[in-house]
Structure 1
Amino acid sequence: MTKHILKLELFGAFRRYSDTGFMELEVELPMPLKTLRVLVAEAIAAQNPGFNREGLFRVTAFATRDEILRADAIIDKPAGLALIPPVSGG
C-alpha cells in the first residue's frame, strides 16, 4: 500500500466543516469505501465535536467526477472525491 493525499470536495451541509469547501486526508490506497467513510467521519468529528456521524453523514454518497460510488467500492487512486448529502426541493 502507498500513502496518498486524497482531496474530498464537500457539498451541501458539509460545506460548513471547511473554510475552503474541501478536506484532505492522508490515506493508504487501495482502500474500501467503507473504511474511507470511517476516516472521513473521524476527521470531521475531530474538528467539529458536535458532528453526528449517525445523522446526515450515514446517508451521504461519495462520488468521483463521473459516478456515485457503491458501498462496496474500492478507492485505488487519489482522484478527487466528493461528499454529496441527499437533496430535496424543486
Structure 2
Amino acid sequence: MTNPFPFAITVRSVEARVASTSKRRCRPVAANLRVGSYLGTLPLSVPGRGRRTAGEFEVTMPNTVVDTCKKATFRLAFTATATRAYR
C-alpha cells in the first residue's frame, strides 16, 4: 500500500476484481478467473507518504475457463478504503 498523504492512514478494507484481459474474446468474468478474498491483516496502518506491504489475493482459473483465455493476461483492479489515523 502506498499513502500519498502527509498524514498516516488506516486501511480498513481491500478488494480486487478482474478488470480486463489481453484477448478480446476472453471476457473478464469469474467463470474465466476467480479472485478470492483479501488474505491479510486489517486494519493496516500506513505512515504519511509511506508504504507498507499488504496481504495478498488467491487467484485461480476454474475448470469453466473458455479456450479463448489460454495464454491470456488478466489485469486486476484493486480498491481499498482508508481513514485518517488519529493518535
Under a length normalisation based on structure 2, what TM-score does the superposition of the two structures give? Answer: 0.29
Q: Which has the higher strand share?
A: 2
Q: Which has the higher contact order (CA 8 A, sep 6+)?
A: 2
Q: Which structure has the bigger radius of gyration?
A: 2
Under a length normalisation based on structure 1, what TM-score does the superposition of the two structures give? Answer: 0.28
